[in-house]
């Protein structure tokens, strides 16, 4: 009878060890998944910022070519923005040949980075766009 009790206890202890190991494995894989998602999202935000800056600058240059109005050019660039995008007004320039340059700020969507105070700055991507007027 004593042998049966010890056997059951050994079986329970092995189950606890496996359950503890499995829990740790799930937690580690989950943490790596969140970190991986945020890293991919931040990389994607950089590419999106560059693309959106170029699109905004091209729209502004096209508008300036037809209207010769800096405010309308800025409005055309602003109309292309989506979500959290912003354009620095102080860097928005129109050259005499109608070329437009601007800096665009885009915040990437992340699970953690954009929600943690000291890390928020890493969620923001900044890109410069340059658009030439249509020929």
Q: Which of 132, 92, 116, 104 is nearest to 35 (CA)?
A: 116
Q: Rounded CA gap, 59 and 73, in Å?
A: 7
Sequence-separated (6 or more) residues with CB below 8 Å from residue 76: 59, 60, 62, 63
Tell me the pLDDT tens digit for each residue of 54-78.
999 999 999 999 999 999 999 999 9
Q: Is the pTM of this model over 0.95?
A: no
Q: Which residue has the tokens 């700020």?
A: 105
């Amino acid at each position: 009878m004593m042998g049966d009790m010890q056997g059951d206890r050994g079986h329970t202890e092995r189950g606890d060890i496996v359950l503890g190991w499995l829990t740790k494995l799930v937690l580690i894989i989950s943490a790596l998944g969140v970190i991986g998602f945020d890293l991919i999202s931040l990389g994607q935000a950089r590419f999106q910022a560059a693309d959106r800056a170029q699109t905004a600058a091209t729209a502004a240059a096209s508008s300036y070519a037809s209207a010769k109005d800096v405010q309308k050019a800025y409005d055309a660039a602003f109309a292309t923005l989506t979500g959290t995008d912003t354009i620095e007004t102080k860097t928005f320039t129109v050259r005499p040949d109608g070329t437009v340059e601007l800096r665009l700020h885009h915040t990437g969507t992340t699970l953690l980075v954009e929600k943690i105070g000291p890390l928020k700055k890493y969620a923001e991507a900044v890109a410069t766009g340059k658009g030439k007027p249509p020929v």
